[in-house]
């Protein structure tokens, strides 16, 4: 798979949004690959981890988030499911799963229903080791502060507002991946 060609298709112009996407995605990919390399016993697919990490936020251009140069119309919470749809249309269902499951530490059907989130009501929690590694790595990088990796405490703090379950999942991943 040529992830760069997919990015070029949706982000053809060299502008600030593409820059944000590329820097953030590379940071996530590098952290995820470091985990894969440290833990060969997980038998994670290294090439897939890099591809999926580079594409995990492909759907942001359709969302409204002016702070990161996104001037679409959809709520930002939808960027994962939008990205998943784009990648499904391209014939990459495994990569699509990473897109739809990386928000927070995953979103349960119960959370979607209870919070009336504008995404399909089903469990969107990372299941495979590759999905978990990418989701975990993503929590250390913000698209608004590209030059800074969050500390573990900062990552936990940013997840706390979404509920205790996500924090517990993140702490469990931290134990697994370090």
Please list the alpha-helical segments (H only) found in the chain. 3-10, 16-38, 46-55, 79-89, 93-101, 109-114, 129-138, 152-160, 164-177
Report pLDDT digits (tens) over 51-106. Answer: 999 999 999 999 999 999 999 999 999 999 999 999 999 999 999 999 999 999 99
What is the C-alpha R_g of the chain? 15
Average pLDDT, integer, range 1-6: 94
Report pLDDT digits (tens) over 14-52. Answer: 999 999 999 999 999 999 999 999 999 999 999 999 999
Across the chain, mean pLDDT equals 96
Per-residue confidence band for 4, with pLDDT thresholds at 50, 70 and 90: very high
Per-residue confidence band for 121, with pLDDT thresholds at 50, 70 and 90: very high
Average pLDDT, integer, range 7-20: 96
- C-alpha 127 chain-centroid distance: 14
Map out the domains of the chain with their CATH numbers: 3-177 (1.10.3210)
Report pLDDT digits (tens) over 138-157. Answer: 999 999 999 899 999 999 99
Whose tokens are 């405490």? That residue is 153
């Amino acid at each position: 798979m040529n992830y760069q060609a997919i990015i070029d298709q949706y982000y053809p112009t060299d502008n600030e949004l593409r820059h944000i996407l590329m820097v953030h995605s590379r940071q996530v990919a590098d952290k995820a690959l470091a985990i894969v390399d440290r833990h060969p016993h997980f038998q994670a697919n290294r090439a897939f981890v890099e591809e999926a990490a580079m594409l995990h936020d492909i759907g942001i251009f359709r969302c409204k988030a002016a702070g990161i140069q996104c001037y679409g119309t959809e709520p930002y919470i939808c960027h994962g499911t939008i990205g998943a749809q784009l990648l499904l249309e391209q014939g990459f269902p495994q990569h699509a799963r990473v897109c739809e499951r990386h928000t927070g530490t995953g979103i349960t059907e119960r959370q979607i229903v209870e919070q009336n989130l504008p995404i399909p009501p089903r469990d969107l929690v990372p299941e495979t080791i590759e999905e978990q590694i990418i989701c975990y790595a993503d929590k250390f990088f913000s698209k608004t502060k590209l030059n800074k990796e969050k500390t573990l405490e900062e990552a936990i703090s940013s997840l706390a507002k979404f509920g205790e379950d996500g924090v517990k999942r993140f702490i469990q991943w931290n134990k697994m991946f370090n």
